[in-house]
């Protein structure tokens, strides 16, 4: 039961795929990684009129880009007021506005069947009554944090409303959206494949200035963009210490009461999260903070302890017992201050990653900044670590 729940979607299950790279090619830009950020880098290079080759170790979005919660949330990985305290309020707010614009771009490219602009809910704690005093105290602390987030967003003209309903108490963010993340990536790959040469099942074995070697071929390019989140420090050892790989785990359930979750919902400081698709199935993740040291790992197989926690979380989101249909995990990158990396690693080689578990919107923005750094020498914005 380790299949990825998102892949049961007919549009994903029927994916025809791209060939493996088995030749020596030349291009203006070579992109390593064909998830959300890598495909954004491909699109940006194409927009500039450049020739592009993109390679991925597996299927498009077979890593975290197609295995995450499918949330399209405005803002950085940590609440905007907390990010502002660390990076400066201007940097955090600018990233927030860019992510909201990114939702509009994706909706325009892929349409409402892929991007559902339904908003999102942040609730304090989890649905239902607290199970003990510790959970009650944590819920009260999170309610205070929701109040601060509300004040900051309102002060800067970002849409937010109070929420007090069946799922709990917190905030409704009307500009956010939901998606099947695998469908998003496969849709973009299909759009770009008419002008770029894209290859799957082509693991990279070596990266040097101007050259990428895979198991079956190689690409020579003026710029190499490495757009890989999890295991980035393995592929590029220079980044060890700046980014660290963690495992995020999820499950999918059999259908529950339709409309139980009207939009993506996250609680308990964002550690636990769920959305419900149109068939009634729940896609639920979280629990990493309960098993912190165990989850600092490049391994991507689900584990019994985390999955047991997520199953309890799923029942609270559902308001009833659930039956699990799929369990899976993925590797993502974290940084010490929650700022993603956009950096030159070697001459002609730039990298982006370390999205701290929220790469669906931040990743594409980081990827375009990486292309600008590599081609134009433009330093990335302050919301990124260079």
Q: What is the pLDDT of residues 260-309, one digit of tens each?
A: 999 999 999 999 999 999 999 999 999 999 999 999 999 999 999 999 99
CATH number of the domain bearing residue 261: 3.30.9.10
Are residues 309 and 249 part of one domain? yes
| CB neighbour class for 324 (10 Å; exposed up to 12, middle 13-18, buried from 19) | middle
Is residue 289 one of the residues assigned to a domain? yes
If asked whether residues 268 and 238 sit together in one domain, one would say no
Distance CA 227, CA 378 (A): 18
Percent of the chain with pLDDT over 70: 99
Q: Kindly state whether residues 318 and 359 are assigned to the same domain.
A: no
pLDDT at 198 over 70: yes
Contact 170, 122 (CB under 8 A): yes
Would you say residue 1 has pLDDT above 70?
Answer: no
Query: CB under 8 Å to 58, separation ≥6 — which residues?
Result: 200, 201, 203
Alpha-carbon distance values, 302 to 39, 201, 368 (Å): 27, 22, 32
Tell me: pLDDT of 251 over 70: yes
- Which two three-digit tokens encode residue 315? 């029942």
Q: Is 225 contained in some domain?
A: yes
Task: Indicate if the pLDDT at residue 108 is higher than 70.
Answer: yes
Q: What counts of helices (H) and strands (E) characterise the chain?
A: 10, 18
DSSP 243: B
At residue 334, the pLDDT reads 97
Q: Is the pLDDT of residue 351 over 60?
A: yes
In a domain, 190, yes or no: yes
In a domain, 361, yes or no: yes
Q: How many CA atoms lie within 13 A of 280 on its CB side?
A: 7
Q: Are 15 and 9 in contact (CB under 8 A)?
A: no
Q: Are residues 168 and 24 in the same domain?
A: no
Q: Same domain for 128 and 268?
A: yes
Residue 217: per-residue pLDDT: 98
Token pair belonging to 360: 């669906």
Do 157 and 252 have their domain in common?
A: yes
Question: What pLDDT was estimated at residue 121?
Answer: 98
Both 296 and 159 in a single domain? Answer: yes
Q: What angle (nearest 5°) sits at the alpha carbon of residue 352, between those of residues 120 and 370?
A: 105
pLDDT band with cut points at 50, 70 and 90 for residue 111: very high
Alpha-carbon 151 to chain mean position: 26
Mean pLDDT calculated for residue range 70-79:
95
- Using CB atoms within 10 Å of the CB of residue 210, give its burial: 0 to 12 exposed, 13 to 18 middle, 19+ buried: middle
Q: CA quadruple 145, 99, 354, 172: dihedral positive or negative?
A: positive
- Residue by residue, DSSP assigns 97-144 as HHHHHHHHHHHHHH-TTT-B---EEEESS-SS--SSHHHHHHHHHHHH
User: Residue 323 pLDDT more than 80?
Assistant: yes
Q: 228 and 315, same structural domain?
A: no
Give the tens place of pLDDT for each residue, 115-149: 999 999 999 999 999 999 999 999 999 999 999 99
Q: Does residue 42 belong to any structural domain of this protein?
A: yes
pTM score over 0.85: yes
- What pLDDT is attached to residue 136? 96
Torsion of CA 251, 256, 259, 261, to 10 degrees: -30
Q: What is the mean pLDDT of residues 376-381?
A: 97
Q: Show the domain range for 40.
A: 5-68+181-243+338-376
Q: 203, exposed or middle or buried, with CB in 10 Å at 0-12, 13-18, 19+?
A: middle
Residue 173 has pLDDT above 70, yes or no: yes
Q: Are residues 155 and 266 in the same domain?
A: yes
State whether 16 and 165 are in the same domain.
Answer: no
- What is the rounded CA–CA span in Å between residue 256 and residue 335? 36
Averaged pLDDT for residues 18-38 = 98
Residue 95: the pLDDT is: 96
- Judge whether 97 lies within some domain: no
Report how many domains make up the chain: 2
Per-residue pLDDT at 210: 94
Asked if the structure places residue 23 within a domain, the reply is yes
What integer pLDDT is reported at residue 31 of this predicted model? 98
Q: How confident is the model at residue 202 (pLDDT cuts 50, 70, 90)?
A: very high
Do 50 and 12 share a structural domain? yes
The pLDDT of residue 2: 56
Residues 263 and 309 in one domain: yes
**Structure tokens given for 322:** 């659930």
Residue % of the chain over a pLDDT of 90 = 97
Is residue 99 in some structural domain? no
Phi, psi dihedrals of residue 60, rounded to the nearest 5°: -50, 130
The pLDDT value given to residue 354? 97
What is the pLDDT of the chain when averaged over all its residues?
96
Which CATH number belongs to the domain containing residue 64 in this structure? Answer: 3.50.50.60
């Amino acid at each position: 039961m380790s299949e990825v729940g998102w892949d049961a979607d007919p549009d994903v299950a029927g994916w025809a795929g791209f060939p493996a790279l088995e030749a020596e090619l030349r291009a203006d830009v070579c992109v390593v990684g064909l998830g959300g950020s890598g495909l954004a880098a491909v699109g940006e290079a194409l927009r500039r009129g450049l020739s592009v080759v993109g390679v991925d170790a597996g299927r498009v979005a077979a890593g975290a880009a197609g295995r995450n919660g499918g949330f399209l949330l405005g803002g950085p990985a940590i609440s905007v007021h907390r990010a502002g305290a660390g990076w400066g309020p201007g940097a955090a707010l600018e990233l927030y506005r860019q992510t909201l614009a990114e939702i509009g771009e994706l909706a325009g490219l892929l349409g409402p069947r892929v991007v559902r602009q339904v908003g999102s809910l942040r609730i304090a704690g989890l649905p239902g009554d607290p199970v003990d005093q510790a959970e009650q105290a944590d819920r009260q602390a999170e309610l205070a944090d929701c109040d601060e987030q509300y004040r900051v967003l309102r002060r800067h003209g970002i849409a937010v409303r109070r929420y007090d309903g069946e799922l709990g108490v917190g905030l409704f963010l009307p500009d956010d959206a939901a998606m099947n993340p695998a469908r998003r990536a496969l849709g973009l790959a299909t759009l770009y494949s008419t002008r770029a040469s894209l290859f799957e099942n082509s693991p990279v074995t070596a990266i040097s200035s101007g050259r990428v070697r895979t198991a079956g071929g190689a690409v020579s390019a003026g710029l190499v963009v490495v757009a890989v989140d999890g295991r980035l420090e393995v592929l590029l050892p220079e980044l060890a210490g700046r980014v660290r790989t963690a495992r995020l785990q999820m499950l999918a359930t059999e259908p529950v009461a339709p409309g139980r979750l009207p939009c993506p919902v996250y609680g308990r400081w964002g550690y636990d999260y769920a959305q419900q698709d149109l068939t009634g199935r729940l896609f639920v993740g979280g629990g990493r903070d309960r098993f912190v040291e165990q989850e600092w790992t490049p391994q991507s197989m689900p584990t019994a302890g985390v999955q047991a926690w997520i199953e309890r979380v799923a029942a609270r989101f559902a308001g009833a017992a659930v039956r699990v249909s799929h369990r899976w995990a993925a590797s993502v990158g974290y940084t010490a201050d929650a700022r993603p990396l956009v950096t030159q690693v070697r001459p002609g080689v730039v990298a982006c990653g370390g999205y701290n578990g929220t790469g669906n919107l931040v990743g594409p923005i980081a990827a375009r900044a990486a292309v600008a750094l590599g081609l134009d020498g433009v330093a990335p914005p302050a919301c990124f670590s260079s």
